[in-house]
Structure 1
Amino acid sequence: MKPLPEIKVHWKRPPLDDRPLERRVGLIILATDHTSEPDFRRMVASERIGVYVARIPYKNPTTPENLRKMQPALTAGAALILPDEPLDAICYSCTSASVVIGDAEIEAAVAAAKPGVPVVTPPMAGVRGLNAFGVRRISILTPYTVETSRPMAAYFAAQGFEIVSFTCLGFEDDREMARIAPDALVDLAREATDPSAEALFVSCTALRAALAISGMEAAIGRPVVTSNQASAWNCLRLCGDETARPEFGRLMTLPMKRG
């Protein structure tokens, strides 16, 4: 065997960019989540924007009690995302847990690890998305049980929306929710939308609704706002990205109202 060559340190270090990518979005997802990460890769990630993911413990069934148990893990989850480096936004990707835990509590937990970083939750983003359309009368579709859907109804009612119809599918396992086919969501959206509703909110980050938004909007003839779509839109706008992405619904063509 020939002797190894001498390893030399190059005499000059190359210049370094400020960041590998211009913008950074953190994403905290459930250990069982099949959908949020690919949806954010599809809708948010680009040559300019990086998506950085941390998973936190979660066990089914999807009940308010189990959802609330994730709260203590949020700070540690946020801390795992590019430690000691700034982010442009961070999203906790669980709609039902967000309404049970509370937006303010989630923001505080994330801020303990990432102070000053804008925090996005799916229901918060959903409200912003619906406000971007200027609608008040909405229908809501969730895959959850009635027990888990009640806090969702209370959340949107507290934000000033008139819920003219609310349909849930009765699932308890988020892994099964992820297996609902996008084509089936189009039919469900049609059935769940009240004629008097101005828009439909489809809740749950497990649903593959991003792949069905165009079909749902065509089927019901009005805007559809979904959990992952709204969160992605909110994060993009926080990154200064105003690019229209109509393939992911009308919301992705709108600016986000500030304040």
Structure 2
Amino acid sequence: MEAFPTINQTDLQLEFDDRPLPKRVGLVILATDHTTEPDFQRMVASSNIGLYTSRIPYANPTTPENLRRMLHPMREGAWMILPDEELNAICYSCTSASVVIGDDEVERALQQAKPNVPVVTPTRAAVKGLQAFGAKKISILTPYTIETSKPMATYFSAKGFDIANFTCFGLDDDRQMARINTQSLITAARETIASDADTLFISCTALRAASVAAEIEQAIGKPVVTSNLATAWATLRICGEHSLRPELGSLMAQPMANW
């Protein structure tokens, strides 16, 4: 049997950075989410910005009633992200739930766990993105059922947008939404964009639309705002990152008004 080695504790004077990475972004996502983390790793994460994720319980089908049930779990999820440490921003990654719960209520819940941290919802980010393009009349494309799409239409109308047309796929499982291939999203955008719409908004953080936003813009000849693209864009601007990255979609070359 080998003798246990002697372990020596060094007296070397260590130096410590304030943070492992300069900026910290928290993500509160659904347990069933396939898309937000890959999108944020691609668009937001860098040697300057770290991503820290918490998953919260969610059960399909995607209905207004099930979406509202996430209010209390999202608060718990936020508490689990780097407890007692500051964040630069925290994002709640569910567009339809942000509508039925309300941006302000989501913000209150997350700030109970992370006081004074800017809270980014996909809906509020989408509004900022549409405003950055000066959009007045918009087309909306969602994967949801008509029942879940109705509050979305009400939300954007209340924000002052004229909805030229609203198209949904009729799906009620976010895992199925995540499996829609990107070519189908490009085709759907081309076929559903209204000729008189200024901008297309593609809702749902489960959709992989952000990964092909530039291709969709080329196909329809208009700016595109998607849930994850808008959330990533707003998060970057809040974190003081203003570099232009139009290859990710023209929104990533736009400034953002105060959050």
Q: Shorter chain as normaliser: what TM range?
A: over 0.9
SS in 1 for 2:141: strand
Q: What residue is the counterpart of 2:151 in the other structure?
A: 151
Q: What residue is the counterpart of 1:44 in the other structure?
A: 44
Q: What residue is the counterpart of 2:59 in the other structure?
A: 59
Q: What residue is the counterpart of 1:105 in the other structure?
A: 105
2:167 is equivalent to residue 167 of structure 1: yes
Deviation at 1:12, TM superposition (A): 2.6
Q: What residue is the counterpart of 1:196 in the other structure?
A: 196
Q: What is the CA RMSD across the aligned residues, in angstroms?
A: 0.8
Q: TM-score, normalised by structure 1?
A: 0.98
Which whole-Å CA distance do the structure 1 matches of 2:218 and 2:146 have between them?
A: 28
Unpaired runs of at least 5, structure 2 = none
- Which amino acid is the alignment partner of residue 247 of structure 2? E
Which whole-Å CA distance do the structure 2 matches of 1:235 and 1:224 have between them?
A: 18
2:205 is equivalent to residue 205 of structure 1: yes
Q: What residue is the counterpart of 1:71 in the other structure?
A: 71
2:242 is equivalent to residue 227 of structure 1: no
2:236 is equivalent to residue 245 of structure 1: no
SS in 2 for 1:243: coil
Q: TM-score, normalised by structure 2?
A: 0.98
Which whole-Å CA distance do the structure 1 matches of 2:179 and 2:247 have between them?
A: 22
Deviation at 1:214, TM superposition (A): 1.1
2:112 is equivalent to residue 121 of structure 1: no
Cα deviations by residue, 1:76-128 (Å, 9 ceiling, x for unpaired):
00000111000000000000000000011000000110001000000100000
SS in 2 for 1:108: helix
Which whole-Å CA distance do the structure 1 matches of 2:204 and 2:45 have between them?
A: 20
- Number of residue pairs matched? 259
Q: Structure 1 residue runs of 4+, over 6 Å off?
A: none
SS in 2 for 1:73: helix
- Which amino acid is the alignment partner of residue 196 of structure 1? D
Deviation at 1:215, TM superposition (A): 1.2
Which whole-Å CA distance do the structure 2 matches of 1:111 and 1:13 have between them?
A: 38
Q: What residue is the counterpart of 1:131 in the other structure?
A: 131
Q: What residue is the counterpart of 2:176 in the other structure?
A: 176
Deviation at 1:210, TM superposition (A): 1.4
Unpaired runs of at least 5, structure 1 = none
Percent identity (aligned): 61
Deviation at 1:243, TM superposition (A): 1.3
Which whole-Å CA distance do the structure 2 matches of 1:9 and 1:245 have between them?
A: 48
Which whole-Å CA distance do the structure 1 matches of 2:154 and 2:14 have between them?
A: 55
- Which amino acid is the alignment partner of residue 92 of structure 1? Y
